Amino acid sequence: MSVIKAVGQQHTKSEFAYLLQGYLSQSAEVCELFTGATNMTTVVNLIAALSYRENDERFFVTSLDTELVFSVLFDGFHLLFIKEVQHGSLNQAEHLILRLTQYYAVKLEAEFVSEQADGSQSEQHLELRNKLKQVLMASSQLDGLYLQRRGQQNNMGR
């Protein structure tokens, strides 16, 4: 029975990854990130694998929006941030997930700034804003870490 369940979960993840690829493909800025060796199919499958939890309603939707995509990306971002800080051994697909999360965090933050005049903030809205701040702060920390590592590599040759 567990084999059937595992196959069903793989099917759910692959359907979500296909839907996610269609959503990401709509943005020219996102498509520009995939000019390297790693293609979008690899990245969306990794996103689905990192974010999937059994009975997660996000994986059973028929259409995606920016908030849902960010929510799924946030799960993977959190894991990859820890991996990068502790080990510094992310592959290209994992780096792309970090950049995609940062891209959507900046996009959502800009939308929130323009909606700020509304003044209505639900608990869900506040939780999303908190996640956005976490991603933006962590991205800034990662950029500093990358600069520091580059500096150390350059100094080793002198």
- Total-model pTM: 0.87
Q: Identify the residue with better confidence: 158 or 84.
A: 84
Looking at the chain, the whole-number percentage of residues with pLDDT higher than 70 is 91
- The per-residue pLDDT for 138 is 94
CA distance 30 to 12: 24
Q: Are 44 and 17 in contact (CB under 8 A)?
A: yes
